Structure 1
C-alpha cells in the first residue's frame, strides 16, 4: 500500500500544471406534444463561433458572481416563457477537447459544461424570438447534428427522463390537469417507446399507488366506451414520496 502511495505521489509531483477552467451551463429541456404524441427537445441556433450556424442546446458561460442555477435560468429566460419551470442539475461534462476554443486559447483554458434538465408543458411554453432567429422544438427522432458534445448531453438527459418516469410523478407536469388513463399511458409510450408495458398492467399498477383521483366524470372519444377522467392528487402523493415506488 505504501509503495502505491509513493508511486501516486511521485506521479502528482511530475504532473501537468493545474487546469484553468471556464464554466458554462447547457439545458436539456423536454416537452411532450400530447396531440401528436411526440417527444420534443428545445434547440437554438448558434450565431457565434465556434459552430456558427449549427443547432445546440440552450447554453451560456457563467458570469462573475453568478451561480450555476442562476446562469441556467438566465439563458432560458431569454429563450422561453413557461410557468413554474423547474431545473435540476444533470451532469458535468468536462473532457479535454470538448470545445474548439480550448485550442485557440493561448492560456490553455478548459471549458466545462454543467448540464441541467427539465420537462415542461408544451401548451404553456412560449418560445421567445425577440430579435433572435433559430429557436425551435425538435422531435427527438429528428434532431440534427448538434454543436460541441451536445448529442452526448442530450442522450444523458433522455436517459434521466426515462428513469424519472419510472419512480417519480414527472408525467403529471406535462399532462392537462384532467386526463384519462389512456392519455397517461400514451405519454409513457411516447417517451419510452412501444412495448414498455401492456395497458392493463400499467393501469392496475398506477391505480394501486393511490394518488390518482377519479373525478367521477367521463369523456367519450370515438365509438369506444366512455373513459373515466382522473386528476393527480399531490397531497396523496406527498404521503408516499419517501417510499420506494415503481410506476411502470
Structure 2
C-alpha cells in the first residue's frame, strides 16, 4: 500500500475590513471612508479600514473598534457582509513572505455625513471618497467595496436600515433625499415614494410641523418599529 500523503492545512489569520458609507444629502453624494496604508504590503495605497482580530475579540467588536478609531457618530447601521479568503489575495501568503493566509470578514456600515466626525489625529489620513471616484485600492478591496455597495442598494429596498441612521424625527423629503442619494434620482418620483410608504403604516405622523426654506411647513414623522414588525418576514419591497 502506498502511504497516504499528509494534507497540508492552511495557516490563517483573520482580519475585518469595513466598507463605511456616508450619505451627504446636502450635496447628493454617497461617500466611502478610505485610509492610506503606511506599511507593506501595498504601502501608500488607499484601502478600506481594517484590522486583525485580537485574542478574545469577536468579529463584530473588531469591526466596531476599527470604526470607532476613525469616526465619531451616534446613529449608524452595521452588518456583516461577506468573507473574502481566496488564495493569493494577500502577498503575505507567499512562502518568501510570511506564508500565512489572510481571511477578510467584511462589514458594511451606513452613517450620515453631517453627523459623522472624522478623527483626524490618525496617521493613515482617513478621507471620504465619492463612490464614483474610488481609486485602485489595496488587496481585493475594490471587489469588497463593490459587493458592499450592491448589498446596500438591495437592503434599502426591503429593510428599514435607513431609520437606524436618520434622526428620530424626519420629514418625508428628508427620507426621500436619503434614498435618492444612494439609489439615484430615477428610482422613484416623490409622490409614488410618499404614497407607498404611508400606505404601509409604519411611519407615524407626530403632528409637528417644520419649515425649511421657502416651502410650506412639512410634517415630522418617526419610524414605528412595532408597526413594521409584522412585515419584516414578508417578501416586501417598500420603495
Query: Do the structures match in fold with TM over 0.5?
Result: yes
Equivalent position of 1:99 in the other structure: 90
121, 127, 143: which one pairs with 2:118?
127
9, 15, 39: which one pairs with 1:48?
39
Change over 3 Å in CA distance of 1:157–1:59 after alignment to 2 = same
| 1:187 matched to 2:140 | no
Q: Distance in 2 between matches of 1:134 and 1:107?
A: 27
58, 64, 72: which one pairs with 1:73?
64
**Cα drift, residue 78 of structure 1:** 1.7
**Cα drift, residue 106 of structure 1:** 5.5
Change over 3 Å in CA distance of 1:136–1:58 after alignment to 2 = same
Larger helix fraction of residues: 1
Structure 2 stretches lacking a partner, 5+ long: none
Q: How many residues align?
A: 236
36, 45, 52: which one pairs with 2:27?
36
Structure 1 stretches lacking a partner, 5+ long: 1-12
Of the structure 1 ranges 106-115 and 43-52, higher mean CA displacement relative to structure 2 is found in 106-115
Q: Distance in 1 between matches of 2:130 and 2:149?
A: 12
Question: Matches of residues 126-205 of structure 1 in structure 2 within 5 Å?
Answer: 126-205=117-196
**Cα drift, residue 223 of structure 1:** 4.6
How well do the aligned residues superpose, as a CA RMSD in angstroms? Answer: 2.3
Structure number, greater radius of gyration: 1
**Cα drift, residue 23 of structure 1:** 1.3
Change over 3 Å in CA distance of 1:213–1:59 after alignment to 2 = same
Equivalent position of 1:209 in the other structure: 200
Question: Matches of residues 214-233 of structure 1 in structure 2 within 5 Å?
Answer: 214-233=205-224
